Amino acid sequence: MFKVGIIGATGYVGVELLRLLLNHDKVTVTAISSSTFKDEEISSVYKSFFNKTTLVCKDKSDVIDKCDVIFTALPHGLSEEIAAEAISKNKKVIDLGADFRLECEDSYEEWYGKKFTCKDIHKNSIYGLPEFNGSKVKEFNIVANPGCYPTSISLGLMPLLKNNLINTKNIICDSKSGITGAGRGLSLKTHFAEANENFAAYGIGSHRHTPEIEQTLSYMANENVEVTFTPHLLPVNRGILSTIYCQPKDKLTLEEIHEIYKKQYENEEFVHVLPLGQTAEIKHVKYTNNCHISIHQNYRKNKIIIISVIDNMVKGAAGQAIQNMNLLLDLPQNTGLKLIAPSF
């Protein structure tokens, strides 16, 4: 059994990691940490773990010392030094924050207001979108787990970009996320009275996932890709639905586009291309590591419309991190992730 630990275990992403890892039959959760709830049992913070685990939140050093693989579920700017210490002790790190997602330090400083503090270790990290570069993950000691919006959008566009089928300068990504995407810390927009019976855009033209989306899509296309990305807050707990609009370079039938998508993802465990005529919906991927994609077309405007849905806490965060862990440990990607969405 591999020993794994979570630094930042009491945030929404950290506790989702713990929920999934406790059901993984190839790893043991050996240690967890929390700066807010240090020395408290996790079951006292989240009652769902009562009689399921006796893990106590300790210091981050305890996690590094006791574990083979460390998950860092922390705000940006806090994972670099932890990762540096961990890999100096021959540990593997999967970071669910933003510290290793952007390759360009100037871009990181522009969007996050910080410079890289441990510059040398970035060359030992990889952006871990398994369906795109999963074969390379185990060659690195640090995996940057993708953001939730970039995961939904990247999987939605990858077949078109890899096959050079669309204009890369006028892609529109219109995404909606459940409230858990904002994290456990309370803000005005996540108050019940503000979010309930409401639907609002935010981060318009300035959301921090924009450079990550463009960086990933540019690698897929092998040319510079520009997007107009607007996120929205849905009054639901979890889930992301991205509606993506793009212009094909040549006339393509809906059937031809659909075949391209099916071929791209035919061997992928977690990406499912729905039959033509069906529409991807959040409820069909909740609590799973799946991404559902449906293909549509506006014939009058010659536009391709892609709908891509994921659970922002699983495929968009904790589940994808475990998928990356499985790749690091040379385990089947679906180990611990054979999850089925509830029917209602």
The per-residue pLDDT for range 224-271, each reduced to its tens digit, is 999 999 999 999 999 999 999 999 998 889 999 999 999 999 999 999
What is 2-145+316-328's CATH topology?
Answer: Rossmann fold (3.40.50)
Is the fold of 2-145+316-328 the same as that of 149-314? no
Strand order across the 57-58 sheet: 57-58, 27-33, 2-7, 69-72, 92-95, 142-144, 125-127
What was the pLDDT predicted at 273? 98
Q: Where are the chain's structural domains?
A: 2-145+316-328, 149-314
Nearest-angstrom CA–CA distance, 62 and 31: 7
Give the long-range contacts of residues 300-306, CB within 8 A, separation 24 or more. Answer: 302/247, 302/248, 302/251, 303/245, 303/246, 303/247, 304/160, 304/166, 304/245, 304/246, 304/247, 304/248, 304/252, 304/257, 305/243, 305/244, 305/245, 306/156, 306/157, 306/160, 306/242, 306/243, 306/244, 306/246
pLDDT at 53: 96
Helical segments of the chain, H only: 12-21, 42-45, 60-66, 80-88, 105-112, 130-133, 148-162, 192-195, 209-221, 254-265, 319-328
Reading the chain (344 residues) residue by residue, the pLDDT tens digits are 999 999 999 999 999 999 999 999 999 999 999 999 999 999 999 999 999 999 999 999 999 999 999 999 999 999 999 999 999 999 999 999 999 999 999 999 999 999 999 999 999 999 999 999 999 999 999 999 999 999 999 999 999 999 999 999 989 999 999 988 877 776 777 878 888 899 999 999 999 999 999 999 999 999 999 999 999 999 999 999 999 999 999 888 999 999 999 999 999 999 999 999 999 999 999 999 999 999 999 977 889 999 999 999 999 999 999 999 999 999 999 999 999 999 88
> If one looks up domain 149-314 in CATH, what number appears?
3.30.360.10
Residues taking part in catalysis: 148
Cα dihedral across residues 111, 245, 317, 233: positive or negative: positive
pLDDT of residue 187: 76
pLDDT score, position 186: 65
